[in-house]
Structure 1
Amino acid sequence: MWGSPSWLENYLDLLQLEREEASFAYLEQICRRHLAVFPFENAGKLIDHHEGRFPSRLVPSMEEFLERHRAQQLGGTCYILNSHLFRLLRALGFDCRLLPVGESHVAILVRLPDLGGERVYVDVGSASPLYRPVRFETEPQNRTGFGGYEVRLRPVEDGEGRWRYTRHIDGRLGEPIWTFDPDTTVSSIQSFSKAIYRSYQPDGAFMTILRCQVWQWERSRSLSLVNNRFSIRHQDGAVEKRTLADRKAIRQVMEEEFGYPDFPSGRVMDILEERGVSVFPKSDTA
């Protein structure tokens, strides 16, 4: 379409979606497909740091983001996933802004004309089942979940318009707990430069592990890999857990369960080992 960015068709093709008018229903389709197509993973982050692509850029370009997914089934963490979804939504005509959440997270606030200008919360970068826009202002008791995993956005009492983001797993409150102010938004990922720099510090949350997570709606399950711990969470709440013994087992899980034959798990493990980190705890091999 005339006036559209060159990458738009490529992005929609990966999501297996057609272009439509901006609406709540279309935004819900985009959120659901994004969680199924682009994994929450830190492999790209570790490789970028190791090969010196950071800090020359804060996040990959749109073209690189899409190509890395096609070639290696990469996605990213919150800054990559939500900043690129933000650009996609703007290109599709959505009225949206980036939303700082907590001290280290970014989400998206979208204003929808078919809901009378109501603001909704969108987030495909928290490894959580936020498969639809959250109508947090009109549904303050909202719950978005899958298989015993639930996210709630609640107004903070006497919080001067602030909201609290919490995760609940099998009925238990989990980490992190974030707060956000929907009236405090920005228009560029550059506004998060300090937080992104902090995330690349040697002790950063995603600099010392191998992480990959994705939602497979067609199979009614989600998959999670944290180092050599692999789990499958089913829609009925049942959870299967496996401890993977070696690199071959990790590679096999990435190919057979995730469907990611080119995911660079071996490369990431090499990088971690150079940093003195093993994804195989000694207790597993003792």
Structure 2
Amino acid sequence: MKEIKVYPLTKASSPPKMEFLNGSNKDINTVFPDNFQFFELLAQLVEEEPAENFGPLERSMMMAIGIEKGKPFNPDEKTKALLAEAARLGGAMARANTFASSAPGVFYYPDRQWQGVREGMTYTFSRDGAPQIDARNNVYYMAAGNSPAMMAKNVGEGSQYLWTYRDADGNFLDGAKNYKLHVLPNIPAKNFWSVVVYDALSRSELQNGQPIPSVSSYVKPLINPDGSVDIAFGPDEPKEKGNWIKTVPGKGWFPIFRFYGPEEPYFDKTWKLEDIAPAK
């Protein structure tokens, strides 16, 4: 990343020195507000970015509420109140669409709780040129970014992701309870794999007191003799030494399992990720 140089074209002959900011160990709020400020931030984004970044449908909808590039966004008090309520209701609808969704194609395996991007979906979340709004919101409420390499089938390259909000019994994951994930041998990830736990409210990494709420092939996890990996989740550290991600009572959580350099058994589903089970 530090080989990148960004500067105005007018300074190409003498580019300025790049300044890189380190965000590690700093509090950063990446969650959009569920109030009128949402629309203020949207208006700022529209003003700062090229108009072509937004499709005709999006621009039309924003123009209907007074957001248009090159024009001030200054709604009256009545409109502000309506937009504030719209943001609150929109946030509630997004949460339901994401966490409670059971629409066809949401689950990656028909007999498991793990979800993935629906088959046949492009990285712009369209099918035959038609925007798939619910499918897009289903993912973007809990995840902030996307790229073609994350959605296309590239065996041994790019990345793929699975996530779940429920345990093997279909119950939402509870920060006060203990769980176990048994990961079968031969994880189909050419480069590396990881599982990261997120706070269901903020959709950001769970603040649990651990440096990183994660287990991955990079941290030299404890591996069973048969090559499988067991990962414990819960507020209480297991008595037996192992791979443990601490959760927080009173907070919902969800994991994302990442496959970097996903291999064919991931795509043809001859290798399957088991459900997270309540600890016994």
TM-score, normalised to structure 1, is: 0.26
Higher strand content, 1 or 2: 1
Higher helix content, 1 or 2: 1
TM-score, normalised to structure 2, is: 0.27
Larger radius of gyration: 2
